[in-house]
Amino acid sequence: MKLDFSEIARTPGARVTHSFSEQVPESEGLVPRGPFTGTLTVTNTGLLLLVEGRFSGEVELPCGRCLEPYVSRVEATISEQFSAAGPLAAAENETIEAEEPEAAAYQDYELDLTELLRQQMLISLPMRPLCREECRGLCPTCGANLNTEQCDCLVEEPESPLGKLKSLLERHQ
């Protein structure tokens, strides 16, 4: 979905609010579960188009411990600035859009809402997603999912770096 802002780009002080429900395509190994919904407010400050808003939706992620897929709710705030003078003025500045125009969410006074949501969704994901806080993960020896089965592997405790000092202390006493 593309939103056209050419009308407010010519009128400093103009403001428009959009409510949306947008289906984001699968990207970077993430599978969106249903549409992302939210609102955006676009304000022309004279030099910039200020895009602010919130959105939420659900994505399927692999757990960082057991690798099982689970559905996580994503909620994010959007606060982006785009040149009100148009794409030519923005290309003079050092921006992502100038270096990679195919990744631009804003071109020719049109905001590609799908691309903006995809970018914001990716940066709002947790660094280490967990299916649940008490997830036991995988056995480091055999790879069994410890949430669903018990393995017979012997887990050796790593030797303490201060173990030799402890033995010296015990001999001294």
What was the pLDDT predicted at 130?
93
**CA–CA–CA angle 56, 59, 60 (5° rounding):** 160
Could you give the 3-state DSSP secondary structure of residue 38? strand
Domain ranges of the chain: 2-124, 138-173
Q: Which of 2-16, 33-47, 152-166 has the lowest mean pLDDT?
A: 152-166
pLDDT in tens, 51-72: 899 999 999 999 999 999 999 9
Calculate the dihedral angle through the C-alpha atoms of 157, 161, 167, 169, rounding to the nearest 10 degrees.
-130
Share of the chain above pLDDT 90, in %: 25
What was the pLDDT predicted at 84?
63
Say whether pLDDT at 89 is over 60. Answer: no
- Counting every residue written for the chain, the total comes to 173
What was the pLDDT predicted at 91?
46
What was the pLDDT predicted at 132?
93
Residues paired with 107 in a beta bridge: 110
What was the pLDDT predicted at 63?
93
Q: pTM to 2 decimals?
A: 0.64
Higher per-residue pLDDT: 30 or 37: 37
Rounded average pLDDT over 83-95: 50
The two structure tokens encoding residue 24: 């984001």
Q: Quick check: 12 and 27 in contact, CB under 8 A?
A: no
What was the pLDDT predicted at 11?
82
Say whether pLDDT at 102 is over 60. Answer: no
What is the average pLDDT score of the chain?
A: 80
Rounded average pLDDT over 20-46: 85
| Helix spans in the chain (H) | 6-9, 87-92, 96-99, 113-124, 163-172
Distances in Å between the Cα of 133 and the Cα atoms of 136, 137, 155 are: 9, 11, 22
